[in-house]
Structures are given as structure tokens and as C-alpha cells.
Amino acid sequence: MKDNLLHQLVFLLEPIGLVWLGLLMLTGWLLFRRQWKPALLAGLIVLFVTIIGSTGVSGSLLRSLEQPYAGVKIDTLPPAEAIVLLGGGAAPSRYEAEGVHLTAAGDRLAMAHALYRRGKAPTLLLGGNANKLDGVVKFEGVIVRDLLATWGTPPDAIIPLGANEDTHDEALKVRAIATERGWHRVLLVTSANHMRRAAAVFRAQGLEVIPAPCNFLTTVATAPPPPGVSVPRYDGFMKVAIWLHEKVGWWTYRHRGWIAADGA
């Protein structure tokens, strides 16, 4: 009991907790002053922050994107001609081991490595963007290639795709390589919440896609949070932000013609 109260106090000191507490106090003060309309507005904001940060609503939204890919087993995935690892799982770093910082989507690297180690495909294609660190341009695909080499993946089995602005860029480059080499089927590695849009983009390029989802962020794959009421935290807002990003991204890609009707 004491530990839980201490945790709640710490959560109150986090930025979202402080904002929530301030809004709660503002609502009470406006009610005391009988300023009903401003109090209602402040109260609605308190309610919104509480729902997103303290309840399972945000998890349910994100879970709706992950659920279709739950239960996929690495060992049962069929072989392909290449493994495509989408970017976003790593960034250059001055001080991390091998000069690579694994981001929140770093599970993607572990999944791609596991697929290669199991012999699911002989070639790894690495997406990602480029960042400038200390005046030097660092390509995500290159730093990931060098990291995977330390894990035992032969560098000559890896093809970095250079700098990419988005998933569509990665799909175009993979299609060009696939056409040149006569490939038809790829294992696509990305976060489960991003898989629907990513797979549709690659299918629009005429590729057969085998989803290899990872980086599950909800109770589809992870343990549920401790029971009980909590001060609002950033986790819920992060999940809603990812959900919104994918929803907006889906319709943006459809509008641009990057996702075919049958792929959708």
C-alpha cells in the first residue's frame, strides 16, 4: 500500500501528472467561483487526460492494430527470398555499444536477426533514414548492418537501402532489387501496429508479403499493468499517438495511391 502511494506521488511529479493535477485544481477553483462554463471546459480536459492516461482506452485502440498479427510464430513462417527490415529501430550514437542506439522499435532488429539465423531467407534488406551526427551523415541501414555483423550475420548477406523518407520509399527500393534478382516473396519485419499499412504498400508494388510482426506494445503480447486506479501517465498518450499516426498514415497512403484497393 505504501509503495503504491509512493508511486502515485512520483507519477504526480511527471509532466502529465502535474498538468492533470493543475487542471483538477483549476476545475475546483472555477466551480467554487461559480464560473460554470469555464469549469465545464476544464473538467472535460481533466476527463480526457484521465481517460487517455489512466484507463485501458489507449491500449484498446492500439491493440486493434496489433491483434490481427498476434500468434505469429517465427519457426512456422515460410521461407522467402529476402528479409526486409523496415527502419525506425536504431539511430546513431556517440557512446552506445557499436555506435548504435536501439529505439523503442529496436525489437525489429532482433526479429530480423532471428529470421536470418533460422534460415528463413539468405538476404537481409535494411531500410531506414539518415541522420547527421558530429557533421557525419549516418545511414540507419549501414549502422544496423555493422551491428548485425557483430551478432554473426555475414555483411555480404546484408543490403542497406540508403536514406528513405517513408515506408513507400523502402517499398520502391525493395521492388527494384526484387525485379533485378527475380525475387517474388519477402518476409516483412516491422512493428505489429505498422504492419497493415506496410504490408499493403509492399503488395501494391507486386511483392508477395509474409508478415513477421514484432514490437508489440499492448497486452496482446505483454503483461497487463497492475490493477487499480492510477494518476495519468505518458504511456497512454504514446499509444494514442501511434494509433493516430497509423490511421492518418493509412488514409494518406490511400489518397496518394500508394496502397491499392485490393491491398487494403
Rounded Cα–Cα distance for residues 116 and 135 (Å): 33
**Domain ranges, ordered by start, for the chain:** 1-55, 69-215+243-256
Q: Provide the residue-wise pLDDT of the chain in tens; the chain has 264 residues.
A: 567 778 788 888 889 999 999 999 999 999 999 999 999 999 999 999 999 999 999 999 999 999 999 999 999 999 999 999 999 999 999 999 999 999 999 999 999 999 999 999 999 999 999 999 999 999 999 999 999 999 999 999 999 999 999 999 999 999 999 999 999 999 999 999 999 999 999 999 999 999 999 999 999 998 887 777 789 999 999 999 999 999 999 999 999 999 987 655
Residue 225, helix vs strand vs coil: coil
Domain 69-215+243-256 top-level CATH class: alpha beta
Q: How far is CA 38 from the centre of its chain?
A: 37
Identify the DSSP state of 215: -
Rounded Cα–Cα distance for residues 196 and 189 (Å): 12
Helix axis angle for 192-204 and 167-181, nearest 10°, is: 50
For 152-184, the DSSP string reads T--GGGEEE----SSHHHHHHHHHHHHHHHT--
Q: How many residues does the chain have?
A: 264
Torsion sign across C-alpha atoms 42, 235, 130, 247:
negative
Rounded Cα–Cα distance for residues 35 and 209 (Å): 58
Rounded Cα–Cα distance for residues 78 and 195 (Å): 17
Q: In the prediction, which pLDDT does 12 show? A: 85
